[in-house]
Amino acid sequence: MTRIFALLLVTVCPAYADIAHGDLQISLPMLRDTPPTAPVAGGFMTIANMGDADDVLTTATIDADFVGEVQLHKMEMEDGVMKMSEVEGGIAVPAGETVYLQPGGLHLMLMGLSEPLTAGEAYEMTLTFAEAGDVVVEFPVLTLGEIRATLEEAGTMDHGMKGHGEDATQTGN
Amino acid sequence: MTRTRTILFALGVAILALGAGVALRQVMEARTPSVVATDLGAPFELVDHDGNEITEAAFEGRPSLLFFGFTHCPEVCPTTVYDMETWLLDLDVGEGEIGAYFVSVDPERDTPQFLKDYLEPQSDRIIGITGEPEKVWDMARSWRVYWQKRPLGEGDYTLDHYASIFVLDPEGRVVDLIGYGEDPESAKAKIADVLG
Ligand SMILES: [Cu+2]
């Protein structure tokens, strides 16, 4: 444990450039590292729609054969209970709006992992949008500490914690 | 909520649990320093992640943190394990000073070995609790913890579940709750309080 925390302190989060794809701008792509046997993992990013046509993220696939599939999920806290479900019909990215996939809210859910995701690795994901089509984005694997630091630095943390209700009066460190 | 409520009523079990959670939280928010819920928890005989028998006696003799989750959880459970370990390290809490328990509400998938492989790389002190599914669920019910299976296609499923950590005094009684996403300083203060 100690070693992991020491590493965490010295690791600088890799800066990944924003990806422009038509009217969409994708930033802060991240996957969360997993304990060795965890069968699932979360993926996050920010999608800004600069155009004047609505779009929808319909599917995501990952270039890693040890992952069963990627689903689009939402998570909500209600009376202290965590509820998670697939987002039916995909994740809407309305014209002129920014959608945040972050811990505590919308996320990509990697299912059926037969190997862990290790911080420092990166995987390509193909994101398919109803209007904008396919875009390939590289997702670095970060620790939870790095993900929190990245979001804090980007100043977008609050968006992801929406829907946490009374439990979310504070965000993580 | 409406649809969920209906399902809960149909099940008959969980609405009570949810109500208990809310009521408990309201009491907690008043920050009453006394014991608030002596009726939570019942005797149990389950196994820890090493396969050894574990009973309610584990919660006696020192304070404990008690969390109900499952390993197929993408976020709340790994985050809670990570946070618990981090808080205890930050507070420099010695090995035997506090018990930290992760009860699986998914005992069908979370065998002792699976829990062990999941928890040990993340923490030296968080002990997994599982066992015969009905017995585990009885134990979870005695803590009025809410959980609910939710299908994810292809026979897969996830679980909605109560996401707060119970803070127990050395007699095994709940004296506080740490909510999911709670400010780390507040969480640590609650742990420091129960450590006295
Ligand atoms: Cu999910």
Question: What tens digit of pLDDT does each residue of A68-121 get?
Answer: 999 999 988 888 888 888 999 999 999 999 999 998 899 999 999 999 999 999
Decide if the complex's ipTM is over 0.85. no
Specify the pLDDT at position A16: 60
Sign of the C-alpha dihedral computed for residues A151, A153, A158 and A164 taken in this order: positive
Query: Is the whole-model pTM more than 0.95?
Result: no
Long-range contacts of A2-6 (CB under 8 A, 24+ apart): A4/A143, A5/B86, A5/B89
Neighbours of A76 (CB within 10 A): 17
Residue type, B45: E
Q: Which of A40, A166, A172 sits opposite B184 (nearest CB)?
A: A172
| C-beta of residue B118 within 8 angstroms of C-beta of residue B130 | no
What lies within 8 Å, CB to CB, of B10 at 6+ separation is none
What is the model's pLDDT at position B7? 38
Q: Closest by alpha carbon to A141, among A158, A125, A157, A160?
A: A125
SS3 B90: helix
Please indicate if any CB of chain A lies within 8 Å of the CB of B157: no
What burial letters (b/e) apply to B169-192, b meaning 16+ CB within 10 Å? bbebbbbbbbbbbbebeebbebbe
**pLDDT given at position A104:** 85
Residue-averaged pLDDT of chain B: 84
Among A7-16, B36-45, B68-77, B178-187, where is mean pLDDT lowest? A7-16
Residue with tokens 């909500």: A76
Burial class from Cβ neighbours inside 10 Å (0-12, 13-18, 19+) for residue A98 reads middle
Residues of chain A neighbouring B74 (CB-CB closer than 8 A): 32, 40-42, 73, 84, 107, 109
Measured over the CA atoms of residue A103, residue B112, residue B89 and residue B140, the dihedral's sign is: positive
Nearest to A80 among B121, B163, B186 (CB): B163
